[in-house]
Structure 1
Amino acid sequence: MDVMLLGTGAADGWPNPFCGCASCQDAARRGDIRGQTAALIDDVLMLDCGPEAPRAAVRFGRTLADVRHILLTHAHTDHLGAQALLFRSWVDVGHVVEVVGPADALDACRPWAGPDDPVRFVPVQAGDTLTVGGYAVRVLPARHQVFREGDAVLYDLTGPDGSRILWACDTGPLPPEWFDAVRDARFDAVFLEETFGDRSDLGSGHHGLPEFFDTVSALRGCGAATETTEVVAVHLGHHNPPITRLRERLRECGARPGTDGEVVRVGDKAEQAHRTLVLGGVRSGKSRHAEELLASYRAVTYVATGGTRAGDAEWAQRVALHRERRPESWSTVETSDVSAVLRAATDPLLIDCLGTWLTARMDLHDVWNGGDMGAVDADITELLDAWQRCPVPVVAVSNEVGSGVVPGSASGRLFRDTLGRLNASVAAVSETVTLVVAGIPLTLR
C-alpha cells in the first residue's frame, strides 16, 4: 500500500493559528504547518476527509479523481468535510464513490449528495467486517465519541497485496480487551493519534505522550506491532513539545511523527525506499534539517564524504560539532565511495554532502590538472543508479551553488557547473526535495 498523509495535525492543526505558545512559534518559524489528519491510500481510498484534505491532495501533487472509497472514523468536522461530496458532484468522474462510516457520520453527509449523485452510503459499526474494492476492512471500536457512545470507530485495513495497517485516529487510551481483536495482527504500519503531548488532564478521548507509549507497548505485547512495524504518530497538536524534541521522545518507543505530504509505503511498496535531497547554502541549517528527518530511526549510517584533513583544526572542530549532535546509536562511515554504500545499505543513510563527494571524485581523477572529466561523469552516472536502487530510506545533503557569484577561476566555474547538474539530476530521481534557507526548510517537491 501507498499511504500519503494528507495531514498530520489535530483539529486545530499545528500550529494553532490563534496561538503564540513556544510550540506553535517553533512550528511557524520552521514553516512546518500541519493540516487536519487524513490519508490517501493508493490514490483510490481515503481515510477521513476533513475540510482541508481535498486541497492538500492537490497541493501534494495528487488527484482525487480516482477515489472510489472514503472511510470515515466519526463526524467531528476535522475528519468530515461533507461539502467535498458536493464539489465532486460538479465533475463527472465516471464511477460511484462509497462512503463508509458510522451512521451519524453518514447522516451528516447525506444533505451534500443529490438523489442522482453517484454516491453509495455504507453504515458500519465496531465489529463489522467488509470488503471495500480490493481492501479487507475490519471496524474496531474507538474510545471517542461525537454524540453518543459507539459513534466513532477505527480501521484495520488489509490491501490487495496483503499489507496491513491500523488507522487509530481519533481515540483515547484503549481498554485491555480491545487488544484481543488485533492480537498477532503484525501490522506493517500503525497510524496512532497523539494529540495532547504532556497534558494528560485534557480528557480521555485522545492520547498524550504517556498514553501513546502505553498503547504502543500494548500493541507490541499482543503481537499487533513487531520490530518491523512502522509506528507513526498523527493528529499532533500544540500541546506537544517542539518537533525536534517530539521526535526524540517518540523514538523512545520506536515511533516517529508523521509529516504532511509524506508517503509511507508498506507491503510490496515498502521496498521502494524514499529518497530525499536537502539543498542549502553555507550555514543554512541544511545538515541539521537532514539529521532531523532521520531522527526517529535508532540506527542510521552517517556517510561523511569530506574525510579527514590532517592539521586543519577548524575542520576538525566542524566535524566534532556534527558528531556531538547525532544520536550515539548512529554509526559513521567516512568515504567517497558513496555508490557502494548506497547499494549495500541495510540501515537508513544520511549522506553529507554531495559537494564534498564531487570534490573528492574530481581530486581522484586529477581534473584540476587536466585529468579525465569523463571519469567524473561516469562516477555521477554510477551514483545516480545506486541512488535509485538504494533499498533503504536515504537523505543526501548538497550545496546550492546557483545563487552565488560567478567563480573567478576556470576550476571554480567547472565545479559550480558540475555540482549544479549533479543536484538537478539527483533531484529528478528523488521523492522529496527541500531547500533550506536561513534555517527554514522549503519543500520543492
Structure 2
Amino acid sequence: MELVLLGTGAADGWPNPFCTCASCMLAAARGDIRGQTSALVDDVLLLDCGPEAPRAAVRSGRTLAGVRHVLLTHAHPDHVGPAALLFRSWAGRTEPLDVLGPPEALDLCRDWVGPDDPVRFVPVAAGDTVTLGGYLVRVLAATHWAVREGDAVLYDLAGPDGRRLLWATDTGPLSGAALARVRGAAYDAVFLEETFGTKTDHGGDHHDLTSFPRTLAALREAGAVTDGTDVVAVHLGHHNPPLPELAERLSHWGARVLDDGAVVSIGGDSIVALPLRPAGASRTLVLGGARAGKSTYAERLLAAESRVLYLATGGTDGGDADWAVRVAAHRARRPEGWHTVETADAAVALRSARDPVLFDCVGTWLAGRLDHHDAWRSGDFGAVDADVEDLLSAWRSASVRVVAVSNEVGSGVVPATASGRRFRDLLGRVNASLAAESESVVLVSAGLPVTLR
C-alpha cells in the first residue's frame, strides 16, 4: 500500500491562522503549514475527507478521480467536507463510490449527492468488518465523540497486498475493548493522533505528549506495534513544541512526524527514514541543574515502554517534609506498569534488571554512599571510590536500556565549605566517567535538552 498524507494538522491546522503563540509563529516562519488530517491510499481510498482534503490532493500532485471508497471517522467538520461529493458530480464521475462512517457523519453528506449519483452510504459502528474491493476494513472504537458517545471510530485497514495499517484519529487513550481487537495485529504502520502536545488540561478524547507514549506502550504490549511498525503522529496542533523539538521527543518513542504531502510506502521503504528507537542495551546520561527539568526529560525518554524499573536512590530522607513532598510528586507522575525500587545498591539493581531502568539520581546515590561509609567524619573515601567503580562496572555491563539522571555541578558558584567542594569534585568525576561509557549524553537547561553526544 502507498499512503499520501494530505494533511497532518488538527482541526485548526498548525499554525492556527489567528494565533500568535511561539509555536504558530515559528511554524509560519519555517513555512511549515499543516492542513487538516487526511490521507489517500493507493489513489483509490480516502481516510477522512475534510474541507481541505480535495485541494491538498491536487497540491500533492494527485487526482481524486480514481477514489472509490471514503472512510469517515466521525462527524466533526474537519473530517467531513461534504462539498467534495458535489465537486465529484460536477466533474461527471459515474463510477460507484462507497462512503463509510458513523451514521451522524453520513447524514452530513446525503444532501450533497444527486439522485442519480452512484454513491452508496455504508453506516458502520465499532466491531463491524467490511470488505471494499480488495480492502478489509475493521472498525474500532475511538475514545472520542462528535454528537453522541460512541459515534467516532478508528479504522484497521488491510490492503490487497496484505499490508495493514491503523488509522487512529481522533481519539484519546484506547479502551480495553479497542486494544483487545488489535492484539497481535503487528501493524506495518500506525497513524496516531497527538493533538495537544504539552497541554494536558483537556477533555481526554485526544492525545497529548503525556498520553501519546502511554498509548504507544499499550499498543506494543498488545503486539499491535512492533519494532517494524512505522508510527507517525498526526492531527498535530499548536500546543505542541516547535517541530524540531517535537520530532526529537517522538524519536525516543519510535515515532515520527511527516510533512503534509509525504508519501509513505506501507511495509516498504518510506521517503523519510524511520527514527532510531534504542533497542536492547543502551546507556543515556541526563545532566542538569536544580529544577532544570532533567528528571521529567529522563522520564519522557522511557515513556513509551510498557515496563520500567524506576531505581530511586533518594528515599524519604527521615523527617524532611519538603523532601517527602518532592518524592511523592515523582511517584505520582510515574506511569502505571513502572516498578519503583528504592535502594542504595544501584550496581546490584543494574546488573539484575530485565526491564529498562531509570536511575534517579546519581547525586543522591553518591551522597548516600558518603554517609553510609561515614566518609565525612573519618576522611577515608576509599570505600566510596570502590562503590563508584562498582557502579561504573554495572553501567558498562548493563544488558537493558538504562537512563541515569545526575546533577550538573560544574557551572555554579564555588561551594563555601570544604565538604561541598569535595562533593562537587567527586560528583563531577563520576558524571564524566558515566558520560564516557554512555551512547547518549544530554544536558537539560530551562526544560530544554541539549544533546552533548
What TM-score, normalized to structure 2?
0.60
Structure 2 unpaired stretches of 5+: 279-453
Asked whether the 8 Å contact 1:248–1:296 carries over to 2, the reply is no
| C-alpha distance in 1 between matches for 2:174 and 2:161 | 29
Asked whether the 8 Å contact 2:188–2:230 carries over to 1, the reply is yes
Aligned residue number for residue 88 of structure 1: 88
The letter of the residue matching 2:191 is F
Query: Is 1:35 the equivalent of 2:35?
Result: yes
Counterpart mapping for 1:382-397 below 5 A: none
Aligned residue number for residue 127 of structure 2: 127
Aligned residue number for residue 190 of structure 2: 190
| C-alpha distance in 1 between matches for 2:277 and 2:172 | 27
| C-alpha distance in 1 between matches for 2:225 and 2:72 | 23
| C-alpha distance in 2 between matches for 1:85 and 1:44 | 15
Aligned residue number for residue 166 of structure 1: 166
| C-alpha distance in 2 between matches for 1:13 and 1:81 | 15
Aligned residue number for residue 140 of structure 1: 140
Aligned residue number for residue 109 of structure 1: 109
| C-alpha distance in 1 between matches for 2:211 and 2:193 | 10
Aligned residue number for residue 24 of structure 1: 24
2:210 partner SS: helix
Q: Deviations over 1:152-182 (max 9, x none)?
A: 1000000000000000000011223421110
Aligned residue number for residue 216 of structure 1: 216
Aligned residue number for residue 79 of structure 2: 79
| C-alpha distance in 2 between matches for 1:248 and 1:234 | 15
| C-alpha distance in 2 between matches for 1:80 and 1:297 | 35
Asked whether the 8 Å contact 1:247–1:295 carries over to 2, the reply is no
| C-alpha distance in 2 between matches for 1:194 and 1:18 | 21
Question: How far apart are residue 295 of structure 1 and its match?
Answer: 8.5
The letter of the residue matching 2:88 is R
Q: Deviations over 1:350-398 (max 9, x none)?
A: xxxxxxxxxxxxxxxxxxxxxxxxxxxxxxxxxxxxxxxxxxxxxxxxx
| C-alpha distance in 2 between matches for 1:201 and 1:181 | 29
Structure 1 unpaired stretches of 5+: 275-292, 300-445
Question: How far apart are residue 266 of structure 1 and its match?
Answer: 1.2
Asked whether the 8 Å contact 1:47–1:70 carries over to 2, the reply is yes
Bigger Rg over Cα = 2
Aligned residue number for residue 67 of structure 2: 67
Question: How far apart are residue 133 of structure 1 and its match?
Answer: 1.2
| C-alpha distance in 2 between matches for 1:204 and 1:77 | 19
Question: How far apart are residue 298 of structure 1 and its match?
Answer: 4.8
| C-alpha distance in 1 between matches for 2:237 and 2:143 | 18
| C-alpha distance in 1 between matches for 2:141 and 2:259 | 26
Aligned residue number for residue 227 of structure 1: 227
- CA RMSD in angstroms, aligned pairs only: 1.3
| C-alpha distance in 2 between matches for 1:51 and 1:220 | 34
2:224 partner SS: coil
| C-alpha distance in 2 between matches for 1:162 and 1:205 | 31
What TM-score, normalized to structure 1?
0.61
Aligned residue number for residue 242 of structure 1: 242
Question: How far apart are residue 258 of structure 1 and its match?
Answer: 2.6
| C-alpha distance in 1 between matches for 2:186 and 2:39 | 21
Aligned residue number for residue 337 of structure 1: none
1:85 partner SS: helix
Asked whether the 8 Å contact 1:156–1:164 carries over to 2, the reply is yes
1:209 partner SS: coil
Question: How far apart are residue 125 of structure 1 and its match?
Answer: 0.5
Aligned residue number for residue 359 of structure 1: none
| C-alpha distance in 2 between matches for 1:143 and 1:109 | 23
Aligned residue number for residue 201 of structure 2: 201
Counterpart mapping for 1:359-370 below 5 A: none
How many residues in Structure 1 have an aligned counterpart in Structure 2? 278
Asked whether the 8 Å contact 1:165–1:190 carries over to 2, the reply is yes
| C-alpha distance in 1 between matches for 2:277 and 2:138 | 32
Q: Deviations over 1:92-112 (max 9, x none)?
A: 233011100000100110011
Question: How far apart are residue 297 of structure 1 and its match?
Answer: 3.7
Aligned residue number for residue 318 of structure 1: none
| C-alpha distance in 1 between matches for 2:216 and 2:274 | 19
Asked whether the 8 Å contact 1:142–1:170 carries over to 2, the reply is yes
Asked whether the 8 Å contact 1:247–1:296 carries over to 2, the reply is no
The letter of the residue matching 2:137 is V
Counterpart mapping for 1:249-398 below 5 A: 249-267=249-267, 270-271=268-269, 274=271, 296-298=275-277
The letter of the residue matching 2:182 is V
| C-alpha distance in 1 between matches for 2:202 and 2:266 | 34
| C-alpha distance in 1 between matches for 2:35 and 2:169 | 14
Runs of 4+ that moved beyond 4 A? none
The letter of the residue matching 2:38 is A
Tell me which moved more, 155-164 or 252-261.
Answer: 252-261
The letter of the residue matching 2:41 is I
| C-alpha distance in 2 between matches for 1:192 and 1:298 | 17
